[in-house]
Amino acid sequence: MARRSAPSSQPAYVPHPGAPRRALEDPNESAFSRFLRTEIFAPEKLPGNIGILTGVSMFVGGIVAVRSFGELMIPA
Tally of structural domains, the chain:
1
Residue 76 lies in a domain: yes
Q: Tell me, yes or no, whether 59 lies in a domain.
A: yes
Cα–Cα distance, 76 to 65 (Å, whole number): 19
Measured in degrees and rounded to the nearest 5, phi and psi for residue 27 equal -70, -15
In a domain, 74, yes or no: yes
Assess if residue 21 is contained within a domain: no
Q: What is the pTM of this model?
A: 0.58
Domain range for 76:
46-76
Residue 8 has pLDDT above 90, yes or no: no
Residue range 21-56, pLDDT digits in tens? 555 678 889 999 999 999 999 999 999 999 999 999
Q: Is residue 52 part of a domain?
A: yes
Cβ contact 73:66 at 8 Å: yes
